[in-house]
Amino acid sequence: MPRLMDMDYVTLEVEIDHGKVSPKGPLPLPEKATGLLTIFQPTPPAAKSATFLSTLESMQKHLGLDAAGAKKWMDDVQAARR
């Protein structure tokens, strides 16, 4: 088995249409190869906001902070960044 240092890697942007993979750019796909495929799926904007807010609420609950404790914690974080 080849070591990772002995391999060349190429990342290509591809389109997938009905299970067929096609390169988007000028580089052709090799006739035979192995690789990894990452699928990017867009997240609706509303879901992103809800996820961010729910993450903050979950963190506040996990830390056991009431509103005043959460504000103090955020002030401490901001002060540490200065």
pLDDT digits (tens, 9 = 90+) for 14-29: 888 998 888 888 888 8
Q: What is the pLDDT of the chain when averaged over all its residues?
A: 81
Is residue 1, in this structure, part of any structural domain at all? no
Is residue 67, in this structure, part of any structural domain at all? yes
Is residue 21, in this structure, part of any structural domain at all? no
- Stretches where the chain sits below pLDDT 50 are none
Is residue 26, in this structure, part of any structural domain at all? no
pLDDT at 4: 55
The count of domains in the chain is 1
Is residue 58, in this structure, part of any structural domain at all? yes
Q: From the CB of residue 71, how many other CB atoms can be counted at a distance below 10 Å?
A: 11
Domain that holds residue 67: 45-81
Is residue 71, in this structure, part of any structural domain at all? yes
Question: Which residues sit opposite 22 in a β-bridge?
Answer: 15
Is residue 10, in this structure, part of any structural domain at all? no
pLDDT at 3: 61
List all residues 6 or more positions away from 58 whose beta carbon is below 8 Å from its beta carbon.
Answer: none
Pairing of strands 20-23, 14-17: antiparallel
What is the 8-class DSSP label of residue 42?
Answer: P
Is residue 19, in this structure, part of any structural domain at all? no
